Amino acid sequence: IAGITQAPTSQILAAGRRMTLRCTQDMRHNAMYWYRQDLGLGLRLIHYSNTAGTTGKGEVPDGYSVSRANTDDFPLTLASAVPSQTSVYFCASSDRDNTGELFFGEGSRLTVL
């Protein structure tokens, strides 16, 4: 039972490079989310998708883009990475809106130099 799988687990990236964080779930959940987690701050929502084919902006969307071509996959792309995007990124899914339990991936630790 995989749940949510994120890749890569960890990555060091030069500033200005393009990077895609992958997220796949096998629970057939409609809603998927991308969060970043920084020391001393709460989880901050980057982008979300309530169902395949739709996406929305969260609290901190600038510099990031997402797509939701199907139910299972929800990749997050940094078009041109900057050092302030150094963070731990979590993908999550839920079978309904934000009153449902969130299932998180194991996280992707990204360092931008």
Partner 1 sequence: GQNIDQPTEMTATEGAIVQINCTYQTSGFNGLFWYQQHAGEAPTFLSYNVLDGLEEKGRFSSFLSRSKGYSYLLLKELQMKDSASYLCAGVDSNYQLIWGAGTKLIIKP
Residue 97 engages partner 1 in binding (rule: CB under 8 A):
yes
Residue 105 engages partner 1 in binding (rule: CB under 8 A):
yes
Residue 44 engages partner 1 in binding (rule: CB under 8 A):
yes
d(CA 52, CA 74): 9
Contacts of 34 (CB under 8 A, 6+ apart): 21, 23, 45, 46, 47, 48, 58, 64, 66, 74, 76, 89, 90, 91, 92
Binding test (CB under 8 A) with partner 1, winner from 23, 49, 85, 107: 107
Binding test (CB under 8 A) with partner 1, winner from 45, 46, 78, 112: 45
Residue 104 engages partner 1 in binding (rule: CB under 8 A):
yes
d(CA 54, CA 70): 10
SS3 71: coil
Q: Which is nearer to partner 1, 40 or 62 (CB)?
A: 40
Binding test (CB under 8 A) with partner 1, winner from 42, 46, 65, 80: 42
Binding residues for partner 1 (CB under 8 A):
40-45, 90, 97-99, 101-107
